[in-house]
């Protein structure tokens, strides 16, 4: 079979498009995609890749799903977008009702936004405005844990790890917050109460300054793909209550079944005051996110005097509650709840634990960890992303490592054979005698 030439439009990409986390002078290679269906990406040269990333953890149902396609087409027939300031529509109210039926009990108010980073920005604003409305203007700091990641906008960057995170260069211009040591107790290992001491000490010393705690429950995402004990999260909730501090949980990466629970906080039976969701909300079709809160927070903000903001939450994205995105999200949630997702994620978890365990014996491997449909192989040294990506593509898989981490978060619909191809490719790559 003749090999197809690169498409002409790829030259425009090379010359003019800036891809995420790359340099325009020495960009990483990109692979042109022609179409996607199920768990496969079809490149323009005819090659097909099994997607192990769910398009950055969002495409939980795979690609080109008939139910989600139908929802998009139907909604396009009435309206694709209308401003949410002064107007409303049924897809948003339907999505609100669906979400409130599955989120942790007590979360009752929803602010729709257009990305995960913006959901974090809104959560921070909610916390700051809440205390301001009550007259506690000195409570204007956040407390979080190291190795966390919450997004690329400025408020979100300020609560990402300031040392090992990807935003260290902005430290001098970001708001300064408090960072506790990250928990060391593993998800399935013994709980060490000393884990919480750094957090407890900071909260005790600065409770009059701290408006809220923000962290990723159970699984830290792009800050290190660390999986920690539910007991830590329980202790955090108790300390927040004791010291009068709000708890924000960032479920953007962990929500909608990825960890084996609908939301990762369920592993600890913890309900936050504010919660951020996104990524898998629309099944990867369109960008949509939301920030939820309890009535305590919404009542506090909304009852503020004119001098403290007149009860108005100061945020309003142009595309918030986009009807097209809401309609697809409704179809995605219905599909998820009717698809035996728990059984699928459990099967993926069992296979990942079995097949990635062989990596533990390799000299370049520091750790292997699995929870739900998340499989992580941590290496002793960072990978060369371009080189290892080329190797993965040659093996017919799409895996996008970063730093020392080679990981997969496949779509829930993946079958055993395709999942084995992903885990085999990881083993082959990390068993190379020389670092890639």
Q: Are 308 and 132 in contact (CB under 8 A)?
A: yes
Does the annotation mark 407 as catalytic? no
Alpha-carbon span 307 to 311, nearest angstrom: 10
Alpha-carbon span 165 to 169, nearest angstrom: 10
Does the annotation mark 353 as catalytic? no
Among 414, 431, 287, smallest CA distance to 356 is for 431
Helices 341-356 + 416-430 axis angle, to 10 = 30
Among 294, 288, 374, 292, smallest CA distance to 331 is for 288
- Side-by-side strand order, sheet with 365-371: 365-371, 374-379, 405-408
Residue showing tokens 């960057």: 157
> Which residue of the set 21, 201, 269, 310 is catalytic?
21
Does the annotation mark 152 as catalytic? no
Question: Residue 139, Cβ neighbours under 10 Å: how many?
Answer: 23
> In Å, how far from its chain's centre is CA 226?
13
Please provide residue 431's backbone torsions phi and psi, each rounded to the nearest 5 degrees: -95, 0
Element (H, E) at 351: helix 341-356
> Which residue of the set 63, 130, 149, 285 is catalytic?
149
Could you give the C-alpha distances from 294 to 106, 214, 230, in angstroms and in order? 6, 15, 22
What is the CB-side half-sphere exposure of residue 18 using CA atoms within 13 A? 5
Helices 66-76 + 323-337 axis angle, to 10 = 150
Does the annotation mark 21 as catalytic? yes
> Which residue of the set 139, 279, 344, 404 is catalytic?
279
> Which residue of the set 51, 114, 195, 250 is catalytic?
250
As annotated, the active-site residues are 21, 149, 250, 279
């Amino acid at each position: 079979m003749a090999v197809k030439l690169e498409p002409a439009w790829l030259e425009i990409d090379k010359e003019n498009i800036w891809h995420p986390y790359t340099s325009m002078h020495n960009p990483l290679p990109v692979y042109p995609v022609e179409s996607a269906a199920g768990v496969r990406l079809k490149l323009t040269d005819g090659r097909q890749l099994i997607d192990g990333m769910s398009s950055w953890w969002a495409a939980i149902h795979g690609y080109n799903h008939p139910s989600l396609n139908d929802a998009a087409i139907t909604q396009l027939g009435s309206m694709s977008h209308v401003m949410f300031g002064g107007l409303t529509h049924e897809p948003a109210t339907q999505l609100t009702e669906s979400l409130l039926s599955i989120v942790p009990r007590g979360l009752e108010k929803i602010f729709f936004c257009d990305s995960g980073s913006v959901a974090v920005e809104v959560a921070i604003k909610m916390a700051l405005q809440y205390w301001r409305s009550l007259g506690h203007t000195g409570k204007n700091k956040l407390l979080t844990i190291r190795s966390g990641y919450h997004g690329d906008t400025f408020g979100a960057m300020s609560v990402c790890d300031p040392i090992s995170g990807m935003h260290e260069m902005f430290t001098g211009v970001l708001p300064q917050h408090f960072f506790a040591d990250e928990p060391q107790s593993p998800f399935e290992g013994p709980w060490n109460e000393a884990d919480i001491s750094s957090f407890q000490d900071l909260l005790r010393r600065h409770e009059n300054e701290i408006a809220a705690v923000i962290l990723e429950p159970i699984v830290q995402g792009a800050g290190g793909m660390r999986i920690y004990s539910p007991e830590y999260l329980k202790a955090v909730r108790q300390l927040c209550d004791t010291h009068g501090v709000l708890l924000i949980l960032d479920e953007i990466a962990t929500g909608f079944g990825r960890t084996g629970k609908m939301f990762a906080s369920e592993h600890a039976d913890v309900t936050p005051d504010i919660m951020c969701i996104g990524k898998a909300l629309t099944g990867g079709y369109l960008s949509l996110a939301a920030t939820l809160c309890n009535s305590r927070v919404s009542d506090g903000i909304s009852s503020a005097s004119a001098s403290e903001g007149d009860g108005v939450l100061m945020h309003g994205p142009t595309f918030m509650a986009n009807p097209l995105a809401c309609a697809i999200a409704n179809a995605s949630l219905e599909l998820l709840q009717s698809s035996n997702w728990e059984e699928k994620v459990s099967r993926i978890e069992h296979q990942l634990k079995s097949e990635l365990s062989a990596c533990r014996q390799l000299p370049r491997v520091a750790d292997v960890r699995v929870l739900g449909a998340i499989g992580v192989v941590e290496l002793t040294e960072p990978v060369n992303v371009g080189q290892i990506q080329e190797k993965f593509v040659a093996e017919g898989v799409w895996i996008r490592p970063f730093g020392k981490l080679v990981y997969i978060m496949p779509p829930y619909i993946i079958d055993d054979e395709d999942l084995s191809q992903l885990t085999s490719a990881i083993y082959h790559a990390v068993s190379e005698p020389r670092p890639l």
